[in-house]
Structure 1
C-alpha cells in the first residue's frame, strides 16, 4: 500500500504543469497495489480544489482509497513535530505535515510526494517517490 501526498493530487486534479508527472507516478504506484489517502490529504485537497463529496468521488475515480490514521501514527507525528520545533523549526511545518509522514511510514510502504526533502529528513526509512524523478 502506497500513500500519496496532497501536493501531487493537487497537481494532478488541477491540471498544473506537473500533472503529467503526477499522473505517471500514480499509474506506476497503482500497478504495484493500492494507493491511499489519509484524512489530512483529503482535507487539503478539499480546501484547495473542491468540496468533500466531490473530492472523495474524484479520488475514488482515479483509484485511490481512504486509510484512517492509526493511533501509533498520530503519536509519531506529534513526536516528530516536537523534534522539529526543538531544532528551531518555524510554523512553516505544522502537525498535518507530520501526520502525512507518520501515516506513510507506519501504515504504508511508500509516499508519493513533491516534498521529498522534508519527509527524508524527519521520517528516516520512508520510501519516497517523487513524480518526474528517475
Structure 2
C-alpha cells in the first residue's frame, strides 16, 4: 500500500516535461506493491485543476486511486508539526496540506510517493519516502 502526494498526480495532469515520466513509472511500481491511496486533502488539491467533480472522480478511478479520510490522530499530529514549523520561523502559510499528508503517512505507517522531501523528512522522519533521485528541496 502506498500513499500518493498531490505533486506526483499533478505531474500527470499537467504533463510536466521534467517529472511526468518519473511519476508514471513510480505510480506503476507502487501499484505492483499494492493499492494506491490519496487523502481527502490530495483530492481537494486535485480539485483545483478540475472544473467538475465528475472529471476528478474519473481521473481518480483511471489512476487506480482509493480515497481515504484522515484519521483524527493524524489531524492532531499535523497541527503540532505545523506549529513547530511556525515556531522554527516557517513563514509560508499555504503548507498545511503537506503537514496533513505527512501526518497521515506517519500515523498509518504507509510509504509516501512524493517529490517533496525536505518538509516530510524534517517533520515526519519516521515515514518511508519514495522519491526521485534528484527530488530537490521540495
Q: TM over 0.5: same fold?
A: yes
Kept after mapping to 2: 8 A contact 1:39/1:67? yes
CA drift at 1:130 = 1.3
Shift of 1:30: 0.5
| Cα distance in 1 for residues equivalent to 2:33 and 2:128 | 14
**Structure 2-normalised TM-score?**
0.89
Give me the CA root mean square deviation: 1.5
Structure 1 residues without counterparts, runs of 5 or longer: none
Q: How does 1:20-99 map to 2 (within 5 A)?
A: 20-99=21-100
Q: 1:56 to 1:132 in 2, by over 3 A?
A: farther
**Number of residue pairs the alignment of both structures matches:** 133
Match of 2:106 in 1: 105
Question: Post-superposition, which runs of at least 4 consecutive aligned residues in structure 1 deviate over 3 A?
Answer: none
Q: Which has the higher contact order (CA 8 A, sep 6+)?
A: 1
Q: What is the TM-score when the length of structure 1 is the normalising length? A: 0.91
